[in-house]
Amino acid sequence: MEVIVEVEQLKKSFGKHTAVKGVSFNIAAGEVFGLLGPNGAGKTTIVRMLTTLLLPDSGRATVCGYDVRRQAARVRQCIGYVPQALSVDGALTGYENMMIFAKLLGLKGRERERRIADLLHFMQLEDAAGRLVRTYSGGMVRRLEIGQAVLHYPRVLFLDEPTVGLDPVARRGVWEILAKLRRASRMAILLTTHYMEEADTVCNRIGILNRGEMVVTGTPEELKALVGNPGASMDDVFTYFTGNFLDAGGDFRGIRQVRHISRRLG
């Protein structure tokens, strides 16, 4: 098993508040690792440290063998990142958005055209490539963002709540893309999510965070077995390990984010 992300006793405080309290886990090539946990558990803070956007206070993390603290530039070359906030421009076409990222990555000439075309095809956006992104559905925007993030064929992809606010069909579309990416390239994928079905279907391993601590890691089946009652669901797993009950309906935050996206694009 080739370990690509190694995290050991990672810590981060903001003032007096310790957001991440000594977290450890590994991700292997070809694995989809799901980071779950209630709001404020520290998921985004961990993603930001692993993507070199935030300096850890202590502990150690390596991505593709490079230290996130001392070899940040190397780490950035081998990762893709789809942040929680919007990372496309609604006033440009899908193709133009891809072109900007490709140029930023230093891709040139025929190779640049080839990768953009390949990825637009892979993300099922060929037909929409010439349209302004503000006319895209939420699912199409997300697929475009993933396409941008993998233009340099990274070995690790980080996604922070990739399907928040998407309808069930669009959500499934994103899941299919992630599964295809993983199969096609043995990419390691770390995603954060509040959707238990997503964790169960997309992730082969899951880590549950609570108040900055990694409470448990394991496959969905292993975690369900730990709950004790036969037929336990991922919802049961989440409640068991965090003491939080899941809200059955859409949450305010999800709704606010959807609004936010439509406002930025409109």
Ligand X SMILES: Nc1ncnc2c1ncn2[C@@H]1O[C@H](COP(=O)(O)OP(=O)(O)OP(=O)(O)O)[C@@H](O)[C@H]1O
With a CB cutoff of 8 Å and minimum separation 6, the contacts of 40 are 19, 211
Indicate whether 49 belongs to the interface with ligand X (CB under 6 A).
Answer: no
Q: Using CB under 6 A, count the residues that bind ligand X.
A: 11
Minimum Å gap between C-beta 260 and ligand X is 14
Indicate whether 39 belongs to the interface with ligand X (CB under 6 A).
Answer: yes
Give the chain's radius of gyration (CA, Å).
18
Minimum Å gap between C-beta 140 and Mg ion is 23
- Of the candidate residues 22, 30, 40, 218, the single one contacting ligand X (CB under 6 A): 40
Indicate whether 257 belongs to the interface with ligand X (CB under 6 A).
Answer: no
Indicate whether 44 belongs to the interface with Mg ion (CB under 5 A).
Answer: yes
With a CB cutoff of 8 Å and minimum separation 6, the contacts of 139 are 166, 167, 169, 170, 171, 173, 174
Nearer to ligand X, 90 or 138 (CB): 138
Using CB distances below 5 to 8 A depending on partner kind, what does residue 143 bind out of Mg ion, ligand X, none?
A: none
Indicate whether 61 belongs to the interface with ligand X (CB under 6 A).
Answer: no
Angle between helices 220-227 and 234-242 (to 10 degrees): 60
Minimum Å gap between C-beta 248 and Mg ion is 21
Nearer to ligand X, 130 or 243 (CB): 243
Closest residue by Cα to residue 24 from 52, 51, 60, 53: 60
Using CB distances below 5 to 8 A depending on partner kind, what does residue 153 bind out of Mg ion, ligand X, none?
A: none
Indicate whether 193 belongs to the interface with Mg ion (CB under 5 A).
Answer: no
Indicate whether 51 belongs to the interface with ligand X (CB under 6 A).
Answer: no
Cα 102 to Cα 207: distance, rounded to the nearest angstrom = 33
Nearer to ligand X, 19 or 133 (CB): 19
Indicate whether 44 belongs to the interface with ligand X (CB under 6 A).
Answer: yes
Query: Exposed (0-12), middle (13-18) or buried (19+): which is 206, by Cβ within 10 Å?
Result: buried
Cα 218 to Cα 18: distance, rounded to the nearest angstrom = 25
Angle between helices 109-122 and 94-104 (to 10 degrees): 130
- Of the candidate residues 23, 27, 31, 42, the single one contacting ligand X (CB under 6 A): 42
3-state DSSP helix/strand/coil % of the chain, to nearest 5: 40, 25, 35
Minimum Å gap between C-beta 16 and Mg ion is 20
Closest residue by Cα to residue 11 from 74, 60, 47, 84: 60
Indicate whether 229 belongs to the interface with ligand X (CB under 6 A).
Answer: no
- Of the candidate residues 4, 5, 27, 37, the single one contacting ligand X (CB under 6 A): 37
DSSP code for 243: -
The contact set with ligand X (CB under 6 A) reads 14, 17, 19, 37, 39-45
The contact set with Mg ion (CB under 5 A) reads 43-44
